[in-house]
Amino acid sequence: MFDQKTIEHLKNYVYLLIDPETDKPFYVGEGAGNRVFEHAKAAVVDNDESLKLDKIREIINSGAEVKHLLLKHGLSKNVALKIEASIIDFSRHFSLQMTNIAGGHDSIENGLMTTEEAIRKYNAMPLTKMDSGFAIININKTYKRGSGFEGIYQATKEAWPIDRSRIPSLRYVLSEYRGLIVEAFSVQSWYEVPAVDRSGKLRVRWGFEGVVAEEAIRNSYINTSVAHLKKPGASFPIRYEVKAV
């Protein structure tokens, strides 16, 4: 445990919990005081279950102790949160084996992104009209941030609750991520995807095989914003119509 003099000098800090067997980190956090040591105590005292606590119990049960590493100290709370968020984004993007469940502070709006995503975010004009035969699909839950074009396609192609009667007329799909149109696809074919809903009933969802849309289409839609069209609390992932504002 830290003594009071050390705590005063450390201020806020960012730390790693290290597996002593592999000498690799399994958790990143931020805090002050003796926060870095509190996880091991919680793993022994509490009955809560989490990837982090389970890992700590595994280490303790092997007769070893969790190692601790301070990455940066002497920080303000806000700076510590930003560093923590950056490390979480980094570890997730490169599939490092970390036990953090939640994303870091402000990681959605200002976290990891490609250079193309940054350009889109800060140069977006509102989309005020969409031609017939188009659908906008929101990929917030399916796209791995920073994974580029292939990631966008894989996140967009399936599986969606589209009315069967609409399928023949849908020729283009626009990928929307965090309120921005990030890609446009020309649909070559639609196919059914069997799925089970929350009540356990079998439902038909739809996926498509497609290619990048022609340049005229892409130039009309990519990097436009639909944030102004989204109502608070709305969760349906597909939009078929855009009206002028």
Task: List, for residues 88-139, the tens digit of each pLDDT value.
Answer: 889 988 888 899 877 666 555 677 877 877 877 787 889 989 999 999 999 9
Lowest mean pLDDT among 33-47, 97-111, 140-154: 97-111
pLDDT band, very low/low/confident/very high, at 36 (cuts 50, 70, 90):
very high
Cross-strand pairs, 203: 195
- Residue 188 has phi, psi (to 5 degrees) of -90, -35
Domains of the chain are 4-110 (3.40.1440.10), 115-239 (no CATH)
Give the percent of the chain with pLDDT over 70: 93
Mean pLDDT computed over every residue of the chain: 89
Scanning 73-138, the segments in alpha helix (DSSP H) are 77-93, 107-110, 115-122
> According to the model, what pLDDT value does residue 49 have?
84
Return the closest-CA partner of residue 193 out of 225, 158, 226.
158
Instruction: Tell me the C-alpha to C-alpha distance, in Å, between residue 3 and each of 6, 7, 10, 33, 170.
Output: 5, 6, 11, 9, 66
> According to the model, what pLDDT value does residue 107 have?
58
> According to the model, what pLDDT value does residue 195 have?
87
